[in-house]
Amino acid sequence: MLRHILVPIDGTDYSWRALEYACELVSYTRGSLVIMTVVSGKRFQPVMEVDGDCLRAQIGDELLEAAYMMLSGKNIDCTYLLENDNNIAESILRAASEQRCDGIVLGSRGMGVLEGLFRSSVSQTVVENATVPVTIIK
């Protein structure tokens, strides 16, 4: 039974659906969530010439704040993590281990079959390397 679930979010509809699904799961088990976002130079390009790390951190904080607002009033125990790493999948796997999560729920990016053959997605890499159950939400 999943009681301590890692939910990586990136602002896509898939990640918000994953968060909603994880909320449902822990509502049955009275478990807790670890909500994380990973900012990287590959994903978030600075829109103005400011310290790039500072701007990416601000974007990550905004995602976590949106998750916090979404969950306010739901009486779910949550921990929020902001990671800065160019290897998003590795950061997710490391957080699951360090936070002692017993499951991961994440959104699919929705790559097509052809694109998926040439490039590994974050969700595919997490599924292949996780030591805990992984649920992918479309």
> Which pair of structure tokens corresponds to residue 30?
């009275």
Q: How far is CA 106 from CA 7, 45, 47, 121, in A?
A: 6, 23, 27, 12
- The CATH number that applies at residue 118 is 3.40.50.620
How many separate domains does the chain show? 1
Residue 1: per-residue pLDDT: 76
Report the predicted TM-score, pTM, of the whole model to 2 decimal places. Answer: 0.82
Q: How far apart are CA 80 and CA 78, in angstroms?
A: 7
CA 72 from centre of chain: 18
> Which pair of structure tokens corresponds to residue 74?
């739901």
* pLDDT over 60 (residue 47): no
Banded pLDDT at 45 (limits 50, 70, 90): very low
Question: Residue 25 belongs to what domain range?
Answer: 4-137
Residue 79: per-residue pLDDT: 94
Where do the DSSP E strands lie in 1-138? 4-8, 32-39, 77-84, 103-107, 134-137
Q: How far apart are CA 124 and CA 130, in angstroms?
A: 10
| Main-chain phi, psi angles of 52, to 5 degrees | -55, -45
Residue 16: per-residue pLDDT: 94
* pLDDT over 90 (residue 46): no
* pLDDT over 50 (residue 112): no
CA 29 from centre of chain: 20
Report the percentage of the chain scoring pLDDT > 90: 51
Residue 121: per-residue pLDDT: 85
**Candidate from 46-50, 70-74, 101-105, 127-131 with smallest mean pLDDT:** 46-50
* pLDDT over 70 (residue 120): no
Residue 18: per-residue pLDDT: 96
